Amino acid sequence: MSKPILQEENVKMNASFSGKEEAIRETGKILAEKGYVEEAYIEAMLEREELTSTYMGNAVAIPHGTEDSKNLINESGLSIVQVPDGVDFGDGKMVKILIGIAGKENEHLEILQKIAVICSQEENITKMLDASDEQTLLSQFEEVN
């Protein structure tokens, strides 16, 4: 049986980073440590960021691997990193919520779509930033699992 796409252990609260590379590494590290992806997927996430920013607006970034890193995904999973003070993603874009995605086969499109809907509502982002624990933050993502 595969594990849930998103669980409490996949959430990191109150993180702070020196820059976006460190933030993306942490987001990927959670996915790797929980067995969703191989370690090399983290590099693919950084590569992806070089190609095009994963900043989505509303203080959210959704780092994920490149097309050719799909073979490094063991099963679909998400990681969420809350950065109350924000991390600079360049061009004045401050990210306070990072959502790492690893989608097996074409599941990532479905997952991305659900996340995009959740993150397009500013009140949901505010709730995620105001959340004092993993469970409260996760409650914003119930329809993803």
At 7 the pLDDT is: 92
Share of the chain above pLDDT 90, in %: 79
C-alpha 79/C-alpha 143 separation (Å) is 15
User: Would you call 70 helix, strand, or coil by DSSP?
Assistant: helix
CA of residue 123 relative to chain centroid, distance: 18
Catalytic residue among 64, 103, 119, 140: 64
Q: Which fold has domain 8-133?
A: Mannitol-specific EII; Chain A (3.40.930)
Mean pLDDT (whole number) for 67-71: 92
The answer on pLDDT for 1 being more than 80 is no
Query: What's the pLDDT tens digit per position in 96-111?
Result: 999 999 998 878 788 8
Mean pLDDT, rounded, of the chain: 93
C-alpha 74/C-alpha 17 separation (Å) is 27
Residues in CB range of 113: below 8 A, 6 or more apart: none
User: Would you call 86 helix, strand, or coil by DSSP?
Assistant: strand
In 34-106, alpha helices (H): 41-51
* Strand 11-12 to 77-88 pairing: parallel
C-alpha 100/C-alpha 80 separation (Å) is 6
The answer on pLDDT for 61 being more than 60 is yes
Known catalytic residue: 64?
yes
At 3 the pLDDT is: 81
Regarding predicted confidence, which is higher, 53 or 112?
Answer: 53
pTM of the model: 0.94
